[in-house]
A and B are shown apart, each in its own frame.
Chain A
């Protein structure tokens, strides 16, 4: 039982240190700045952005697509690894669930920032038309938010029960809250069987729901007459891209949380190795769809598509295009092929590369297409022929990223980032041998 106490001591939430407090203050400052910028955008209209009649969507939409993509990680790691009985997932699932929840909430918020008339948000329900892909999004995003919340919450119940006991003497206030949140978890057989069943259902549900989410996200683009979007490849391309982006975000977060919380004993090289192989598989899949998307059309590209592809590969967009392809995809794949590349340090770099590459990749998917319409761009100011986000757009975008990070940070602060009960069960520390679900 002594080991068990040490385990709880290790994995129970810790107060922020000085660094933690500075980090949170920094995030809050960025969010406040973003809020000010957004209020100004509402007041003046989207004239404060650099979006115009041709580049009619910009960084908000690409950021939205990025958030949707990273939210895929919960489904991949938790649900798929669970169904395939991969037990190495244990210390990673909670972090994945937190990332999923934070991302999908921010995706929902980001898409609203892009609306010209956010005051008419309710029209989406009052006058909803089912054939519009936006209505599909209106249905699937709240569904995913609810489901990813449950996927985070249900496996937490036993841990919250443990924390209630743990804080009983030191912090009675905390203990009370954890007790309430744990829904009076006692660990009885009946509770366990209900919890197990619920988690099973959610884990199976989340797979189709997040696949639908990614696909609808792709269909937002592929249902238009646009070069570069009007592609049958889009759905699968987005799913595989989300696979990469989500795992990249997970690797990065796992490394940082492990460092900050000192969890080297729980998240070991073994886990990073496994995660690295998994990310390698994701990159390989994504590479395949990238070849389908960019290389194969060269053979039959009509004039307009030729212009589009040329500007991506050799032209105006080449630096960003090759950055996202090489730094965000090929290089990580090569590094991950080596065992040394799958150790924590290199993996962190790979994770960062993948996340950055994925973020710019969304930008490359959304914006160049809009600037290559069928009919030539004419009769508009010269500056409308190009697009680069304005200060307002950057600040608001960073604020959304900061909000996602703040949600993650607060979850790390107040929740056990590694499932305590399950870890204990796996290490045979409890008297009750029956394993709990996560």
Chain B
């Protein structure tokens, strides 16, 4: 009885194992075979399509592998004020050799940003490093740093950096602590200590009505100004949006300002368009207070080989001049 049962069990195990092996090998073979068949099917199709990759080289791809996808609108075309323009990196080059303190940039900037009083965003400094070095005129905008100190210290994310490199202010969110102003090593921020007098601003108000944005003011990067919040140079995103150059660039009679895209490696002052990297290399471009590590987006070209004497600019120079207040009914002049 005992032996019998032992035997039958042994037989059972033996058979079971054999069947198991056979099915495993068979399965493997089948799957391999089917794969080969499938592959030969595809190869027989043979139709190829030529495509260009993002870095510009041509490649061939099987037609069957090309799938049409819907163009993602959100990602590419829709302009989000906080995100900025995709795949751009805006830079400015200021050629100090050309600046004669004509101040047309300042006037244009004030006009188009409705700046009045003491709050000019763009200023031209009379600079001299030391007694023995030559004086020069230095227009100073926001540096739109890649490592912006102002953004780091903002407690409410009211000042923010976009993917296209612009550092902007949401003055509908700002609490007015002025930490950003304390943090900025370039001291470029100005504050609306009282209710800003900006006149009517029909252009911007109109655009705001058009855009029907919930919070339209950031669309125009801090315009209109708000009491108790800071302002600063915004690199004119409203102009970039329309594929135009910032106001200071177009207003300058001497072609001091170049504006462009670092990814495209080109900058233009409206008259000439140059390779950014070559320009910086040839003319020894530098950035202001590079040693602080803020890595600004504004480059300066040193004031060499100047065509016009520095003194010429002194005609326009005033220690300070308040920007004219706009004409309003409350404030007739």
Interface flags for A99-134 (1: CB within 8 Å of B; 0: not) read 000000000000000111110110110111101111
A124-B156, A128-B156, A381-B320 are known contacts. Are A47 and B194 too (CB-CB below 8 A)? Answer: yes
Q: A225-B185, A374-B187 are in contact. Are A56 and B178 (CB under 8 A)?
A: yes
Question: Chain B nearest CB: distance from A195 CB in Å?
Answer: 38
In the complex, what's the smallest C-beta–C-beta distance from B37 to chain A, in angstroms?
59
The answer on a CB contact under 8 Å between B191 and A382 is: no
**CA A56 to CA B188, docked complex, whole Å:** 12
> A159 to chain B: closest CB distance in Å?
40
Residue from B124, B149, B228 in contact with A116 in the complex, judged by beta carbons closer than 8 Å: B228
Q: Contact at A226–B182, with CB atoms within 8 Å?
A: yes
Contact assessment for A53 and B185 in the assembled complex, using a CB-CB cutoff below 8 Å: no
Asked whether A378 and B123 contact (CB < 8 A) given A114-B177, A127-B173, A225-B292, the answer is yes
Considering the chains assembled together, what is the distance between the CA atoms of A24 and B239 in angstroms? Answer: 60
Q: B194 contacts A45, CB within 8 Å?
A: yes
A46, A128, A225: the one within 8 Å of B149 (CB): A225
Residues of B within 8 A of A134 (CB): 153, 155, 177, 179
Q: Given contacts A116-B229, A224-B182, A225-B185, is CB(A124)–CB(B175) below 8 Å?
A: yes
- Chain A contacts for B149, CB-based, 8 A: 224-225
Q: Are A45 and B192 in contact (CB under 8 A)?
A: yes
CB-based contact A115/B176 at 8 Å = yes
Contacts of A45 in B (CB 8 A): 192-195, 227-228
* CB pair B182 A370 closer than 8 Å: yes
C-beta contact mask, B184-215 vs A, less than 8 Å → 1, else 0? 11110111111100000000000000000000
B163 to chain A, nearest CB (A): 18
**Chain B interface size, under 10 / 10 to 19 / 20 to 34 / 35 or more:** 35 or more
Per-position binary interface string of chain A over residues 379-394, scored 1 when its CB falls under 8 Å from any chain B CB and 0 otherwise: 1111010000000000
Task: Name A123's closest neighbour in chain B (CB-CB).
Answer: B156
Cα A131 to Cα B151 in complex, Å, equals 10
Interface residue from A53, A220, A375, A380 paired with B186 (Cβ < 8 Å): A375
| 356-412 of chain A: CB within 8 A of chain B | 370, 373-382, 384
Q: Is A52 engaged at the interface, CB distance under 8 Å to the other chain? A: yes
A186 contacts B by Cβ under 8 Å = no
Closest-CB distance, B13 to chain A (whole angstroms): 65
Q: Are A47 and B229 in contact (CB under 8 A)?
A: no
Residue on A with the closest CB to B183?
A224
Chain A residues with CB under 8 A of B292? 225
Instruction: Say whether chain A's binding surface is mostly helix, strand, loop, or mixed.
Output: loop
Partner of A128, one of B155, B179, B320: B155
* Complex: A47 Cα to B228 Cα, angstroms: 9
| Closest CB in chain B relative to A44 CB, distance in Å | 6
Number of contacting residues on A, CB 8 A?
Answer: 47
- The residue that A374 contacts in the complex, of B124, B175, B186, B195, with Cβ under 8 A, is B186
**Chain A nearest CB, measured from B125 CB (Å):** 5
Known: A45-B192, A54-B187, A124-B156. A117 touches B175 (CB 8 A): yes
Instruction: Determine if A116 and B177 form an interchain contact, defined as CB atoms under 8 angstroms apart.
Output: yes
Smallest CB separation, A108 vs chain B (Å)? 14
- Which A residues, 41 to 58, have Cβ-Cβ distances below 8 Å to chain B? 44-47, 49, 51-54, 56-57
Q: Give the residue among A49, A116, A120, A121 with the most B Cβ atoms within 10 A.
A: A116
Contact of B153 among A123, A132, A374 (CB under 8 A): A132
Looking at the assembled complex, report how far the CB atom of A300 sits from the nearest CB atom of chain B, in whole angstroms: 15
- A201, CB-defined interface residue at 8 Å: no
Residues of A within 8 Å of B195, CB to CB, are 45
- Say whether A127 contacts B157, CB under 8 Å: yes
* A124-B175, A373-B187 given; A223·B153 CB < 8 A: yes
Decide if B174 is an interface residue (CB 8 Å cutoff). Answer: yes
> Given A45-B228, A132-B154, A374-B186, are A121 and B181 neighbors across the interface (CB < 8 Å)?
no
Contacts of B89 in A (CB 8 A): none
- Name the distance in Å between B170's Cβ and chain A's nearest Cβ: 9
Per-residue A-contact encoding for B82-103, CB less than 8 Å = 1, 0 else: 0000000000000000000000
Per-residue interface assignment for chain B, residues 217 to 261, with 1 indicating a CB less than 8 Å from any chain A CB and 0 otherwise:
000000000011100000000000000000000000000000000
Are the CB atoms of B118 and A380 closer together than 8 Å? yes
Min CB gap A288→B, angstroms: 27
**Could you show 11 A-B contacts with beta carbons less than 8 Å apart?**
A46-B194, A52-B118, A121-B175, A129-B156, A224-B179, A224-B183, A225-B184, A374-B186, A375-B140, A379-B120, A381-B322
Q: A53-B181, A116-B191 are in contact. List 7 more A-B contacts (CB 8 A).
A: A52-B191, A120-B174, A123-B173, A128-B156, A133-B179, A375-B187, A379-B123
Interface set of B (CB-CB < 8 Å, partner A): 118, 120, 123-127, 140, 149, 152-158, 173-179, 181-187, 189-195, 227-229, 288-289, 292, 294, 319-320, 322
**Smallest CB-CB A-B distances: 7 pairs:** A116-B176, A116-B228, A47-B194, A134-B155, A225-B185, A379-B123, A45-B194
